[in-house]
């Protein structure tokens, strides 16, 4: 029985090690730095240490198994340590573009072919999924073969949000039509998990992304994938300010704000909408209803006052919703500020009584 338990333990340890090392970039520590044109990537896991340092534009073979060119007399060095063993490849390009490839096992240089070539292919399989090395050539290659869809298929296999954004940026340099642009935006919203990287991609490309109804719809849907109140409010305010979005799209946008918990950020979105867009009655009422979720008297009063300033006269239903929202304003100071604005509206007798009760 003891022998069985011991063998089982060995199997568990073996499985854990193989699982942990099967993906080079299932890392516990990742760093990326650029210094004087040289890029260095370091990855450390409990079992391995991996480094890639390079300079210049790296061109890969069509099957991503080899490096066929390096620009500007650049170089690439790939090094991996695992369980006390160290392997390294150094590839240099001279001024004529000719490559010199060297393979080291430990400190000893070994013939590049066939073992070094085989190891390079194994490393590149992971490197292209997790770094921007060879990205431009790969995007061009996939785009030539299958257009936008082929590039997006490859992006979906990438393992880093930062790298995904780089590939999307390269794809957006192509001659993209309306349908393809919407496809790219929808893909980015689905694939990029980082709120930071997704919001940057949307904001940096908002002029291209917000040219027509389809791309605007996709932009707003992608914004809905952002969970950070800060980042989603920035993206939504860009959408409000940079495009003549229609009432249906404003309704879509307001649905997203229902998930914003910060009084500060939801107020920024609402006041930007009220200040910069002519809202129909349905969307104005929606903002007033959503303002009930604002806990801060200060921020709630900002929204209600902006709503009152947004048009000369609110309809009766909007006024009723606004007055109900006022009931939760506990501060006499903020309540009085709203009342000053409300008194300029056409109030029914019950509304007048309601306002007097607040006074």
240-255: per-residue pLDDT in tens?
Answer: 998 889 999 999 999 9
Per-residue pLDDT for 26 more than 50?
Answer: no
Cα–Cα distances (Å) from 86 to 50, 83, 117, 271, in that order, read 10, 8, 16, 59
pLDDT of residue 198: 98
Q: How far apart are CA 70 and CA 68, in angstroms?
A: 7
Q: Please give the average per-residue pLDDT across 11-27, as a whole number.
A: 40
Q: Please give the average per-residue pLDDT across 29-56, as a whole number.
A: 84
Query: What percent of the chain is predicted at pLDDT more than 70?
Result: 92
pLDDT of residue 246: 95
Which phi and psi (to 5°) does residue 29 adopt? Answer: -145, 125
pLDDT of residue 221: 96
Query: Which tokens is 38 given?
Result: 């040289």
pLDDT of residue 265: 98
Residues 6+ apart with CB under 8 A from 103: 87, 88, 89, 109, 110, 111, 112, 115, 116, 119, 120
Is the previous residue joined to 114 through a cis bond, with omega within 30 degrees of 0? Answer: yes
Q: Please give the average per-residue pLDDT across 12-37, as a whole number.
A: 54
pLDDT of residue 50: 86
pLDDT of residue 359: 67
Distance of CA 191 to the CA centre of its chain: 8
Q: Please give the average per-residue pLDDT across 45-56, as a whole number.
A: 87
H or E segment and range at residue 229: helix 229-242
Strands 67-70 and 85-93: what pairing?
unpaired
Which phi and psi (to 5°) does residue 315 adopt? Answer: -70, 165
pLDDT of residue 11: 36
- How many Cα neighbours within 13 Å face the side chain of 173? 9
At residue 28 the predicted structure's pLDDT band, cuts being 50, 70 and 90, is: low
Adjacent-strand bridge partners of 52: 41, 78
Per-residue pLDDT for 279 more than 90?
Answer: yes
pLDDT in tens, 78-97: 999 988 899 999 999 998 88
Q: Please, what is the average pLDDT of the chain?
A: 89
Residues 6+ apart with CB under 8 A from 250: 273, 277, 279, 283
Coil, strand, or helix at residue 102? strand
Q: Between 265 and 341, where is the model more confident?
A: 265
Neighbours of 20 (CB within 10 A): 14
Per-residue pLDDT for 9 more than 50?
Answer: no
Q: What angle do CA 195, 199, 201 make, to 5 degrees?
A: 120
pLDDT of residue 236: 97
Per-residue pLDDT for 157 more than 90?
Answer: yes
Q: How far apart are CA 145 and CA 137, in angstroms?
A: 12
Q: How far apart are CA 320 and CA 346, in angstroms?
A: 11
pLDDT of residue 347: 85
pLDDT of residue 35: 85
Taken in order 266, 269, 275, 277, the sign of the CA dihedral is negative
pLDDT of residue 151: 98
Candidate from 66-75, 95-104, 223-232, 340-349 with smallest mean pLDDT: 340-349
Q: What is the secondary structure of 118-163 as a DSSP string? A: HHHHHHHHHHHHHS-TTHHHHHHHHHHHHHHHHHHHHHTT---HHH
pLDDT in tens, 192-234: 999 999 999 999 999 999 989 999 999 999 999 999 999 999 9
Q: What is the pTM of this model?
A: 0.83
**Of 70-74, 82-86, 123-127, 235-239, which has the strongest mean pLDDT?**
235-239
Q: How far apart are CA 332 and CA 239, in angstroms?
A: 35
Q: Please give the average per-residue pLDDT across 311-324, as a whole number.
A: 91
pLDDT of residue 69: 94
pLDDT of residue 43: 79
Q: How far apart are CA 189 and CA 35, in angstroms?
A: 32
Cα–Cα distances (Å) from 134 to 106, 137, 167, 174, 224, in that order, read 27, 6, 10, 17, 32
pLDDT of residue 118: 96
Neighbours of 115 (CB within 10 A): 13
Per-residue pLDDT for 29 more than 80?
Answer: no
pLDDT of residue 176: 96
Tokens 């309809």 belong to residue:
315
Candidate from 16-20, 161-165, 260-264 with smallest mean pLDDT: 16-20
């Amino acid at each position: 029985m003891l022998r069985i338990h011991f063998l089982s333990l060995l199997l568990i340890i073996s499985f854990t090690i193989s699982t942990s090392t099967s993906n080079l970039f299932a890392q516990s520590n990742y760093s990326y730095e650029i210094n004087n044109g040289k890029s260095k990537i370091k990855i450390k896991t409990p079992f391995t240490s991996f480094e890639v340092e390079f300079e210049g534009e790296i061109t890969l073979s069509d099957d991503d198994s080899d490096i066929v060119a390096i620009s500007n007399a650049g170089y690439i060095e790939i090094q991996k340590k695992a369980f006390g063993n160290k392997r390294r490849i150094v590839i240099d390009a001279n001024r004529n573009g000719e490559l010199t490839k060297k393979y080291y096992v430990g400190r000893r240089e070994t013939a590049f072919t066939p073992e070094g070539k085989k190891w390079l292919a194994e490393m590149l399989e992971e490197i292209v999924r997790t770094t921007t090395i060879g990205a431009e050539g790969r995007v061009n290659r996939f785009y030539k073969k299958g257009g936008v869809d082929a590039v997006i298929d490859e992006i979906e296999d990438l393992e880093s949000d930062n790298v995904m954004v780089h590939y999307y940026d390269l794809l957006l340099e192509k001659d993209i039509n309306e349908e393809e642009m919407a496809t790219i935006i929808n893909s980015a919203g689905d694939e990029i998990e980082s709120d930071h990287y997704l919001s940057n991609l949307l904001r940096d490309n908002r002029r291209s992304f917000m040219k027509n109804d389809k791309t605007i719809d996709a932009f707003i849907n992608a914004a809905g994938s952002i969970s950070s109140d800060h980042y989603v409010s920035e993206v939504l305010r860009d959408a409000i300010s940079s495009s003549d979005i229609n009432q249906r799209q404003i309704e879509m946008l307001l649905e997203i704000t229902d998930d914003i918990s910060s009084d500060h950020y939801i107020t920024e979105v609402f006041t930007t909408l009220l200040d910069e867009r002519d809202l129909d009655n349905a969307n104005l009422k929606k903002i007033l209803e959503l303002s009930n979720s604002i806990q801060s008297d200060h921020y709630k009063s900002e929204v209600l006052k902006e709503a009152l300033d947004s048009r000369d006269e609110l309809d009766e239903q909007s006024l009723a919703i606004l007055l109900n929202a006022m009931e939760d304003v506990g501060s006499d100071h903020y309540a009085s500020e709203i009342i000053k604005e409300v008194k300029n509206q056409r109030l029914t007798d019950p509304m007048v009584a309601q306002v007097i009760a607040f006074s």
